[in-house]
Amino acid sequence: MFDEIYNRKNTGSYKWDTIVPDGVIERGAYPLSVADMEFKTPEEVREAVKDFTDKGFFCYTSGDGEYRNSVKGFMKRRHGFEIENDWITCVGGVVFAINTAIRAFTEPGDKIIIQTPVYYPFSASIINNGRVVADNPLVAVDDSYIINFDELEKIASEPDVKMMLLCSPHNPVGRVWTKDELKRIGDICLNNNVILISDEIHFDIVRKGVEHTVIYNVDEEFKKNTVICTAVSKTFNLAGLGTSDIIIADEALRNKFQKQLSTDGYSSINCVSRPATIAAYTQCDYWIDAMNAYVEDNVNYVKSIVDEIPQIKMCKCEGTYLVWLDMRELKLNDDELDKFLVEKCGIIQDPGFWFGEGGKGFSRLNVACPRKALEKAMEALKNKVLNGEY
């Protein structure tokens, strides 16, 4: 169900139509960029949406009891995560929720911790809201990354640091944080009165033998100061519906968040997201398992090709469908690297420098795509590099 290659040009796709250089897809390039999948969303979801649209009413819609029960059941079944229905606030996407949380829980000029290289809307959300980035860069060790906890503790203790944005699993470096790591992060934030926003949007997409831990499951105390961001979007390829479920156990925090939502004028979820979410969260566990197996095979395939290219290294990918490639040994600047990948290899990618200073010379590739498209791209990359054509 994942092998078919689709040409999605002229569909309004950000990935296929908006950010791609003119003519490169027509010349054979393939988008391995924006973090949505080249897989059709599950048939059960499409049927639920069709049934809804056939009724002909595109009305103001709420996250009602059936919707919330589907979220609650999924969280318990897939993650051992028990929540109450009233903990859920339905919002138009995780990035929107992060911006809302920044406005709800901090003031202009406050500092907010991120861990670069990291999903670039984190820093944009901080800066665009008049707050200040406090960077706790991840430390590269062999083929992975670790957290500099001594520095994190020092930064969190500064009086003007009010919030931390945690990417869990981490985009783009692919780490799935261990319970011990999450415990240390949570303790540092709690002990320093730092609000923790845990973006867990990729939490269903992990490698075999790797377990994602929802941060509330690490320590009950973290419910006092932590907001968890979840969504159906990455798991089921539903990003375009613009919906997410923000889970806040603490009533005072939840009230502040919801007050800010009201101030921002947000009042209703996307009407199509209701049937889509209910179907995804109640009927499609099989699809998650099949998708994870396919993505894992693709990750392993990319690793096998990269291992044949001395100038490129791949970071260990524990979670997400994104691989993080270290291409610094090619000695190309950002523009040269992008041009080489697009024009000579047919790879449309997300440049590493987008994710922060530590991403320069890196490339993020989305491998949630048909194997044949991935093989064409990776074989071209291998041949061009080994032949010195860069």
Buried b (16+ CB within 10 A) or exposed e, 179-206: eebbbbbbbbbbebebbbbbbbbbbbbb
pLDDT tens, residue by residue, 262-284: 999 998 999 999 999 999 999 99
> What pLDDT does residue 99 have?
98
Q: Which of 114, 90, 86 has the alpha carbon at shortest distance from 100?
A: 90
Rounded Cα distance, 75 and 87, in Å:
12
pLDDT tens, residue by residue, 209-249: 999 999 999 999 999 999 999 999 999 999 999 999 999 99
> What pLDDT does residue 267 have?
87
Q: Is 141 exposed, middle or buried (0-12, 13-18, 19+ CB in 10 A)?
A: exposed
Q: What are phi and psi of 132, to 5 degrees?
A: -120, 135
Domains for the chain: give ranges and CATH numbers: 14-41+285-386 (3.90.1150.10), 45-283 (3.40.640.10)
pLDDT tens, residue by residue, 297-356: 999 999 999 999 999 999 999 999 999 999 999 999 999 999 999 999 999 999 999 999
CB 240 within 8 A of CB 16: no
pLDDT tops 90 at residue 22: no
